[in-house]
């Protein structure tokens, strides 16, 4: 049964700080001052000489006080280790730190961390008297462990000034406590990042009046977030008020708004006697009296501008420094009140949702054993909505497994009432036509592209654009990054629940559930109530679908997607007919014409792979606005070529059909015609030229289409013409009459060699794609295209020259010339003031840039890689917005402009495989440079001394250069994450302060002459990868290497390392350790088993004689390689405890037997000698590998 515990997840502590110190050393000076400073900050602190009552056993009380303290501050002094009392105290502190929610901070008062860690110097003398005591071992370990923690060292902080030192300690502890205790709700999850985001908006240090909105759907955590922020920062204000339920209270009664004004004034002014006589009086009082106090206000759940005008009408009502936080579902309310800072509440991630649910269901961070899968199902249902998670967690708390299963089954059919009730408030406030749009999205259109949704909604006579905008502002839908209409699962559920309230199913206005639709259609139960129906991946017989529509007299929206049939199905009416002439398989439906029917009320019809060759004879289509039957068997719209007028038809999609020709004379209002991939289409009827309203014509992939109608230019409304992958050889001259054409796609028209000479008459053209065509030149008139923004000539391999007046394309932003035979750019190109991108990649003949290139003041990217460029013009340094400059594989480039540092926005500079010998000193002025690649600049010997001024640099690749040393300033690169120095064969030394590169994650020193690593490298707290492969002069690692707490990959192969530092076993995240070919390596640490995350351990070709027994504790070890460890004779007997081990290599060792426990390792591959494996009984499944070794695979 799931635990019904309702105890707090976070432990409640009696003390916030426990002070551990040796009284004789520091009680009357440093500790006394520290204690007073903590008390002044109201931090509840335990100090033994104040807290222990007379007559009580001190040691027992101390143990209890340690367990009941959140933070430990350990003051290490010279004689601390002489006290067994202090040492026992320290052991207990370290134990508590490991097991529960405690944090320990060491303070090195008059000793150094190394003295404590190694028990040398003053600490060693103090500890000497305990050497023979039984507890000496655990005391040593506790000292070592404590010294490895992040703490404070007096002589290195605040210049040794004790008062400043104490102030710093107290400030940091205070901040830690505040971040832990920032909210009264102990079950908050994932709130820290969200709170910090809002606080960054508030900028409480700035002396202005600021309003910010927190917007999101109902139950999404807006109030919880606002409360958490309020609790965290309210201490900074002179007055504060959290006004809850503004919507509900203000609408509840005539006096509701007055009561809210009363509350706000009373809270902020701390005056309970205030009484507001009217809303108008309240406004005046707020305006008059709020200006005297710096206030923090939260106005929660606002839904109307009147509420904001009554409670926070103007910013000048408030004293500078005041902050007003407004939570709402309706963005328009914030916009109307000129609130410009709006924070959208993100729903919970899967991990956060599991944690929150577990806190309510189990009173802990994770599900209890046996309930993991069920908890996952609940969380998936909740879809990140905190309200649902809390309600379900509380509901399921204490219930057994069968009750959980019943609850989940019920949720699949009956939505959670409490959630839907809260969410439906947003729906109720909508106007009637917007309610229709909302229900259509919830039942039918979720996930659709916005443009397609607008088309469908407009087809149904709804004002789609305004409607979707209103729904988005009210947090009922979102338009995602891919321009698709999205909606939270529970809002979708709420909308569908509204529709389902009409019973039975055939009375629903909208149908989308497969089982309900099948029942209605098969049993002919359709009614006039149904106006929209979506049939998705149904196995229904298409003829049954058509027949079942007869009673749906008011059906306006129909979307059908049926699964494929075969001739053995129950109706036996689908006759396979393989049609190979078109290069694909299709099926023709043999049908009874009488059963084919579409109601004439249909306005939107979408049927993918429509199985009939024509539309039903009885269908008049006089209301049809959108017809989409892509991938259909349609040969012609109407049987026997009947001509029916479709005056309302605006959108027609017959893509991927067998259509050979199309008469469009009876669709005069057509706006969009899509015939993509109609591989049988040979020509377009001249009737298309009569479509005065046609805006989009898509013919991509019509691979037999060779020509267009000569009068195509009569399509006076055409905006988009797409002809990609056709066999078009030329464009009709009349195309130049298309005054509204904005987009012309001709890419991969492999037979197109020439453009009309008067192309420049396309005065609205914005995008022209000619990539992969056979174009040999551009007409001069192209330079008249004043609105052209995008010109793509990629891989026009016959194009050698551009028009000289290209600079007249005053709107051009994107110019792609990669893969052409262009040798140079016309000088006029430098006048293109809006040009952002030039692509010259693989222009193998391109040699020179215009000298006035700096005139391209908006240029952000110029791609010059693999060109014959020898130098860059000095004017390039004037490109203030240039972000990317890839010059890789410019094999003739020897020098950079001296003023390159003036490229103030440059983020990426790639000089790989150039002949660059040195970098200009000005490069150090590139304040935004993030990515610098110099691999392999074989002639580069030196870096600028001020390289450290590249404050944003994240990636620096110096591989295979002739660099001998790095400038010391490199150590101040605070954002550097990746430093590659592999194959720098002359590099012998690293800067001593390398550890100051605090963000460094990856350091590659392989194949260098490095002899030692600076001790400071151990300060790199974010280091994940350290590669020292073939550093053949390296014989020692820093003793504190174990402080690299994030290290995952350590490669020491082919070095002269003899042993590993003892504290390497503190690398809890290490996954890969390579020591192969370390020919002097003899011994592993005895506590190697502490490397709990290790997956791969390669010890091949070392001098190892034995493996420590603790290796058997490596629960995640998958690969253990001991190849050619010729001195190794035995394996640990408990090797079978390595439950994840997949491969064990023992070739070339002296191992004579395998431990019996190895049989526990199912799936293990053992690579060793034939004799050894056979002697262990492995005989039946021996496989001989190429080198004569033997691999046994145990299944």
| Exposure string over 566-591, b if 16+ CB within 10 A, otherwise e | eeeeeeebbeeeeeeeeeeebbebeb
Is the separation of the CB atoms in 363 and 387 below 8 Å? no
Q: What six digits make up the tokens of 80?
A: 């601390």
Of the two residues 849 and 421, the one the predictor is more confident about is 849
Q: Please state, in angstroms and rounded to a whole number, the distance separating the CA atoms of residues 733 and 1091.
A: 75
**Residue, of 576 and 712, whose pLDDT is higher:** 712
702-759 tens-digit pLDDT: 999 999 999 999 999 999 999 999 999 999 999 999 999 999 999 999 999 999 999 9
Mean pLDDT over 424-443 rounds to 93
Q: Kindly tell me if the per-residue pLDDT of 1182 is higher than 70.
A: no
Helix H or strand E segment including 375: helix 372-382
| Mean local confidence (pLDDT), 1116-1121 | 96
Which of 89, 331, 458, 883 does the annotation list as catalytic?
A: 89
Contact by Cβ (8 Å): 716, 690? no
CA 463 to chain centre: 34
- The angle formed by the CA atoms of residues 233, 238 and 244, to the nearest 5 degrees, is 60
For residue 327, the surrounding DSSP H or E stretch is strand 323-328
Q: Residue 565 has what pLDDT? A: 45
What's 449's DSSP letter? B
Please spell the DSSP secondary structure of 794-811, one letter per residue: TT-TT-----TTGGG-TT
Token digits for 12?
Answer: 């409640």
**pLDDT, tens digit, for every residue of 30-57?**
999 999 888 877 688 888 764 443 333 3
CB 681 within 8 A of CB 582: no
- CB of 696 closer than 8 Å to CB of 673: yes
At 551 the pLDDT is 94
Lowest mean pLDDT among 420-434, 610-624, 680-694, 947-961: 420-434
- Give the pLDDT band of residue 507 (cuts 50, 70, 90): very high
Average pLDDT over residues 533-543: 90
Beta strands in 1-135 (DSSP E): 15-20, 45-46, 69-76, 103-108
CA distances from residue 361 to 358, 751, 843 in whole angstroms, order as listed:
5, 68, 64
- Is it the case that residue 569 has pLDDT exceeding 50? no
Average the pLDDT over 624-628 and give the result. 97
Please report which confidence band the pLDDT of residue 592 belongs to, taking 50, 70 and 90 as the band edges.
low
Look at residue 665 and give its three-state secondary structure: coil
- Nearest Cα to Cα of residue 302 among 348, 264, 347, 352: 264
State the burial class of residue 476 (Cβ atoms within 10 Å of its Cβ: 0-12, 13-18, 19+): buried
Share of the chain above pLDDT 70, in %: 92
Q: State the pLDDT at residue 131.
A: 86
Of 44-48, 222-226, 456-460, the one with minimum mean pLDDT is 44-48
Count of helix runs (H) and strand runs (E) in the chain: 28, 44
Q: Distance between CA 431 and CA 1007 in Å, rounded?
A: 71
- Which residues lie across from 591 on neighbouring strands? none
CB 784 within 8 A of CB 760: yes
Q: How far apart are CA 259 and CA 265, in angstroms?
A: 10
Per-residue pLDDT of 274-297, as tens digits, reads 888 899 999 999 999 998 889 999
Order across the sheet with 69-76: list the strands: 45-46, 15-20, 69-76, 103-108, 152-153
Q: How far apart are CA 1159 and CA 1181, in angstroms?
A: 15
pLDDT greater than 60 at residue 618:
yes
What is the mean predicted confidence (pLDDT) over 983-1012?
96
Residue 936, preceding bond cis, omega within 30 degrees? yes
Is a pLDDT exceeding 50 seen at residue 1193? no
Q: How many CB atoms lie within 10 A of CB 109?
A: 23
> Which one has a higher pLDDT value, 1130 or 635?
1130
Nearest Cα to Cα of residue 560 among 607, 601, 526: 607
DSSP letters spanning 688-746: GGG-TT--EEE-TT-TT-----TTGGG-TT--EEE-TT-------GGGGG-TT--EEE-
Confidence band of 235 (pLDDT split at 50, 70, 90):
confident
Half-sphere exposure of 1147 (CA within 13 A, CB side): 14
Give the span between the Cα atoms of 1114 and 1119, in whole angstroms.
11
Asked if residues 869 and 893 have their Cβ atoms less than 8 Å apart, the reply is yes
Report the chain's terminal Cα–Cα distance, integer Å. Answer: 37
pLDDT at 516 over 50: yes
pLDDT of residue 11: 53
Active site residue 1082: no
Say which range, 280-284, 807-811, 932-936, 1028-1032, has the weakest mean pLDDT: 280-284
For residue 1120, the cross-strand partners are: 1097, 1144
| Spatial separation of the C-alpha atoms in residues 98 and 101, rounded to whole Å | 8
Query: In whole angstroms, what is the distance from residue 240 CA to residue 297 CA?
Result: 6
Whose CA is closest to 517, among 566, 568, 567, 558?
558
pLDDT tens track for 94-136: 988 876 678 899 999 989 999 999 999 999 999 998 988 888 8
Radius of gyration of the chain, Cα coordinates, nearest whole angstrom: 38
Residue 144 is given by DSSP the state H
Q: Which of 1171, 504, 1186, 1168 is nearest to 1194 (CA)?
A: 1168
* C-beta separation of 248 from 314 below 8 A: no
Distance CA 872, CA 876 (A): 7
Q: Which residues are registered as beta bridge partners of 297? A: 241, 324
Residue 980 contacts residue 959 (beta carbons within 8 Å): yes
What pLDDT does residue 549 have?
Answer: 94
Residue 1146 pLDDT grade (very low, low, confident, very high; cuts 50, 70, 90): very high
- Out of 469-478, 770-779, 1167-1176, the most confident range is 770-779
DSSP 1071-1094: -EEE-TT-TT--B--TTGGG-TT-
Distance CA 107, CA 778 (A): 75
CA trace torsion 232, 236, 240, 242 (10° rounding): -20
User: What is the structure's pLDDT at 878?
Assistant: 97
Using 50, 70 and 90 to split pLDDT, how confident is the model at 25? confident
The Cα 1185–Cα 442 span in angstroms is: 61
Mean pLDDT of 794-815: 97
Sort strands 1165-1168 and 626-628 into parallel, antiparallel or unpaired. Answer: unpaired
Compute the distance between CA of residue 313 and CA of residue 58 in angstroms, rounded to an integer.
61
Contact present, 477 and 470 (Cβ < 8 Å): no
Q: What is the mean pLDDT of residues 1062-1083?
A: 94
Query: What pLDDT, on a 0 to 100 scale, did the predictor assign at position 231?
Result: 83
> What number of residues does the chain have?
1195
Distance CA 1137, CA 1002 (A): 32
Assigned token pair, 672: 């969009």
The pLDDT value recorded for residue 300 is 94
The whole-number pLDDT of residue 180 equals 56
């Amino acid at each position: 049964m799931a635990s019904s515990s309702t105890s707090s997840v976070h432990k409640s502590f009696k003390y916030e700080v426990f002070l551990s110190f040796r009284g004789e050393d520091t009680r009357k000076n440093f500790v006394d001052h520290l204690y007073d400073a903590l008390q002044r900050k109201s931090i509840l602190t335990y100090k033994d000489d104040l807290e222990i009552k007379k007559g009580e056993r001190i040691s027992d009380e101390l143990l209890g006080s340690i367990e009941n303290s959140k933070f430990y501050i350990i003051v290490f002094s010279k004689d601390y280790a002489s006290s067994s009392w202090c040492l026992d105290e320290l052991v207990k502190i370290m134990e508590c730190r490991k097991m529960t929610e405690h944090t320990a901070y060491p303070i090195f008062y008059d000793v150094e961390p190394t003295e404590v860690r190694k028990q040398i110097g003053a600490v060693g003398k103090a500890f000497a008297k305990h050497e023979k005591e039984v507890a000496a071992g655990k005391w040593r370990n506790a000292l070592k462990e404590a010294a490895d923690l992040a703490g404070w060292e007096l002589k290195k902080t605040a210049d040794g000034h004790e008062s400043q030192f104490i102030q710093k300690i107290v400030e940091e502890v205070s901040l830690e406590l505040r971040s832990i205790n920032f909210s009264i709700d102990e079950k908050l999850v994932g709130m820290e990042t969200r709170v910090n985001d809002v606080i960054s908006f508030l900028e409480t240090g700035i002396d202005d009046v600021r309003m910010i909105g927190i917007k999101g759907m109902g139950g999404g955590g807006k109030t919880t977030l606002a409360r958490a922020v309020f609790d965290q920062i309210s201490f900074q204000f002179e007055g504060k008020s959290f006004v809850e339920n503004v919507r509900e209270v203000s609408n509840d009664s005539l006096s509701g708004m007055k009561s809210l004004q009363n509350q706000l004034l009373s809270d902020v002014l701390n005056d309970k006697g205030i009484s507001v006589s009217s809303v108008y009086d309240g406004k005046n009082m707020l305006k008059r009296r709020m200006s005297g106090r710096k206030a923090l206000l939260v106005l929660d759940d606002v839904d109307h501008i009147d509420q904001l005008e009554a409670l926070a009408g103007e910013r000048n009502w408030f004293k500078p420094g005041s902050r007003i936080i407004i939570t709402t579902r309706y963005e328009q309310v914030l916009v109307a009140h000129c609130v410009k800072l709006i924070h959208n509440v993100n729903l919970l991630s899967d991990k956060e949702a599991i944690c929150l649910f577990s806190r309510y269901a189990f009173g802990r961070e994770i599900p209890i054993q046996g309930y993991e899968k069920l908890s996952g199902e609940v969380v998936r249902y909740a879809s990140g909505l905190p309200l649902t998670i809390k309600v379900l967690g509380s509901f399921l708390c204490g219930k057994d497994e069968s009750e959980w299963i019943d609850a989940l089954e019920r949720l699949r059919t009956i939505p959670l009432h409490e959630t839907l009730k809260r969410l439906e408030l947003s729906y109720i406030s909508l106007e009637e036509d917007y309610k229709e749009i909302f229900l259509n999205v919830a039942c039918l259109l979720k996930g659709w592209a916005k443009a397609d949704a607008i088309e469908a909604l407009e087809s149904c006579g709804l004002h789609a654009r305004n409607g979707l905008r209103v729904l988005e502002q009210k947090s009922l839908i979102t338009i995602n990054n891919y321009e698709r209409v999205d909606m939270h699962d529970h809002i979708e559920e709420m909308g569908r629940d509204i529709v389902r309230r009409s019973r039975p199913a055939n009375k629903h206005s909208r149908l989308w559930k497969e089982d309900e639709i099948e029942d209605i259609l098969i049993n002919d139960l359709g009614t006039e109530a149904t106006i929209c129906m979506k049939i998705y991946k149904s196995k229904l017989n298409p003829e049954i679908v058509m027949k079942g529509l007869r009673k749906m007299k008011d059906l306006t929206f129909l979307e059908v997607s049926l699964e494929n049939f075969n001739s053995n199905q129950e109706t036996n009416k689908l006759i396979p007919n393989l049609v190979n002439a078109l290069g694909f398989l299709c099926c023709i439906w043999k049908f009874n014409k009488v059963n084919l029917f579409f109601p004439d009320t249909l306005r939107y019809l979408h049927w993918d792979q429509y199985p009939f060759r024509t539309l039903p004879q009885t269908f008049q289509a006089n209301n049809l606005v959108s017809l989409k039957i892509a991938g259909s068997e349609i040969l012609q719209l109407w049987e026997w070529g009947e001509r029916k007028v479709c005056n309302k038809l605006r959108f027609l999609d017959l893509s991927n059909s067998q259509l050979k020709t199309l008469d469009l004379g009876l669709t005069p209002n057509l706006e969009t015609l899509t015939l993509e991939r109609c591989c049988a289409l040979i020509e377009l009827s001249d009737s298309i030229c009569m479509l005065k309203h046609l805006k989009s014509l898509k013919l991509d992939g019509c691979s037999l289409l060779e020509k267009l109608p000569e009068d195509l230019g009569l399509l006076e409304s055409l905006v988009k013409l797409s002809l990609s992958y056709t066999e078009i050889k030329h464009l009709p001259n009349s195309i130049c009459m298309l005054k509204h054409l904005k987009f012309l796609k001709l890419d991969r028209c492999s037979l197109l060699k020439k453009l009309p000479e008067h192309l420049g008459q396309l005065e609205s053209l914005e995008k022209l794609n000619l990539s992969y065509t056979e174009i040999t030149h551009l007409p001069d008139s192209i330079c008249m295209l004043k609105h052209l923004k995008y010109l793509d000539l990629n891989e026009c391999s016959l194009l050698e020259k551009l028009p000289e007046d290209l600079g007249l394309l005053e709107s051009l932003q994107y110019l792609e010339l990669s893969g052409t035979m262009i040798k140079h750019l016309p000088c006029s190109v430098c006048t293109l003031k809006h040009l952002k991108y030039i692509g010259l990649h693989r222009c193998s003949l391109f040699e020179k840039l215009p000298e006035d290139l700096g005139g391209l003041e908006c240029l952000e990217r110029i791609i010059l890689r693999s060109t014959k460029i020898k130098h860059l013009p000095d004017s390039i340094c004037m490109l203030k917005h240039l972000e990317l400059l890839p010059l890789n594989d410019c094999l003739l480039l020897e020098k950079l402009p001296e003023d390159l540092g003036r490229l103030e926005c440059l983020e990426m500079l790639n000089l790989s495989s150039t002949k660059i010998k040195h970098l200009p000193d000005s490069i150090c002025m590139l304040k935004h440079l993030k990515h610098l690649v110099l691999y392999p600049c074989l002639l580069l010997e030196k870096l600028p001394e001020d390289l450290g001024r590249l404050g944003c640099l994240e990636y620096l690749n110096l591989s295979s250069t002739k660099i001998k040393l790095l400038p010391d300033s490199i150590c101040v690169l605070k954002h550097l994450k990746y430093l590659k120095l592999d194959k720098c064969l002359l590099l012998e030394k690293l800067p001593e302060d390398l550890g100051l590169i605090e963000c460094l994650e990856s350091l590659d020193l392989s194949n260098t002459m490095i002899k030692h690593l600076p001790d400071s490298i151990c300060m790199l707290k974010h280091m994940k990868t350290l590669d020292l492969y073939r550093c053949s002069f390296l014989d020692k690692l820093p003793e504190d290497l174990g402080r690299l707490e994030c290290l995952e990959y350590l490669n020491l192969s082919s070095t002269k390392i003899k042993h590993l530092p003892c504290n390497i076993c503190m690398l809890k995240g290490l996954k890969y350790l390579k020591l192969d070919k370390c020919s002097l390596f003899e011994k592993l640490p005895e506590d190697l088993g502490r490397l709990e995350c290790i997956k791969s351990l390669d010890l091949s070709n070392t001098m190892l004689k034995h493996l420590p027994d603790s290796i058997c504790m490596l629960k995640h070890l998958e690969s253990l390689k001991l190849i050619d460890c010729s001195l190794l004779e035995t394996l640990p007997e408990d090797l079978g405890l390595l439950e994840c081990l997949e491969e064990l290599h023992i070739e070339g060792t002296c191992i004579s037997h395998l431990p019996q426990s190895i049989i526990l390792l199912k799936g293990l591959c053992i690579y060793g000698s034939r004799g050894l494996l056979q002697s262990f009984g492995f005989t039946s499944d021996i496989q001989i590998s190429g080198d004569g070794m033997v691999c046994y695979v145990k299944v």
